[in-house]
Amino acid sequence: MPAMKAPPVAWVLVAACAELALAAFGLVFTPTAARGSGLLGLAGVAVAQAFCVLAVGYGPVSLRRAEPVAVRTGVTVGAIAGLLYGAEGLAEYLSPAVTDASVTIGWIIVAGFAGSSVVAAVIASVRAGSVRAGVTAAFSNAITEYLVWYPTVLLCYYFFRTSTNIDRVWRAEGTYDDFARSGMTDLRAFVLQDFWGAGFFHLVAGLILAALLGTATAWAVRVLSRR
């Protein structure tokens, strides 16, 4: 049985390496992003990818020791959430209506991520009958969502980087204002560095939220199931 749990860890390693390479690929279009402290952002992406691999391979919620139902639940919910978030990112470039509602949609995405952690934790806790399963499912959800969402937004940016639609997206998301406050002189370098920063902070915030919501939800399920 333990041998059957190794493939998911291997797939996470492959996905992490691919995402780091994809993030670095932006230097082909914007080599100036490496200037100054720019490479620290790319290093942050590398740290995030490494953490994903270490977490699923050797952490307290390692897939090697996790109950299969918890892993399946977290991965399934996370993949659905990640695809939805990625689709929304693509829609922003394609539809002015979606772009104009980007702030509202952003809050919906935050709520959706929180909801996905709760859903994963509830399903796994009920099916496996343990708090650990619920927490593991929430963590698996967060990591899977990240591994699906991040390459999607990078690919969307690379594809539309020369499109006139990108101006609309940048205006809606306040990119020009953020760029003006940054003190930088290269807009493209600023945007790429911003994507690198998102590659680190999105995972950190997601795992913290998953830990809090997953733990609280799993314990709530346990308490309610004993009544």
State yes or no: pLDDT of 155 exceeds 90: yes
State yes or no: pLDDT of 139 exceeds 50: yes
Average pLDDT in the 133-159 region? 93
pLDDT at 5 (0 to 100) = 43
Q: Per-domain residue ranges for the chain?
A: 2-225
* Number of neighbours of residue 163 by Cβ within 10 angstroms: 12
* Number of neighbours of residue 212 by Cβ within 10 angstroms: 13
Average pLDDT in the 95-118 region? 85
Residue 164 DSSP class = T
Average pLDDT in the 79-104 region? 88
Contacts of 201 (CB under 8 A, 6+ apart): 44
CA distance 146 to 203: 6
pLDDT at 135 (0 to 100) = 93
Residue predicted with more confidence, 109 or 70: 70
Q: Which amino acid is at 191?
A: V
**What mean pLDDT, rounded, does the chain reach?**
88
State yes or no: pLDDT of 225 exceeds 90: no
Contact 141, 81 (CB under 8 A): yes
For the chain, percent of residues with pLDDT exceeding 90: 53
State yes or no: pLDDT of 175 exceeds 70: yes
pLDDT in tens, 34-91: 987 888 999 999 999 998 888 888 877 787 778 889 989 999 999 999 999 889 889 9
Average pLDDT in the 3-26 region? 79
Question: Residue 186 — very low, low, confident or very high, per pLDDT cuts 50/70/90?
Answer: very high
Residue predicted with more confidence, 193 or 7: 193
Q: Which of 207, 179, 140 lies closest to 5, judged by CA?
A: 140
pLDDT at 112 (0 to 100) = 86
Average pLDDT in the 22-44 region? 91
Question: Residue 2 — very low, low, confident or very high, per pLDDT cuts 50/70/90?
Answer: very low
State yes or no: pLDDT of 8 exceeds 70: no
Lookup: tokens for 12: 């996470």
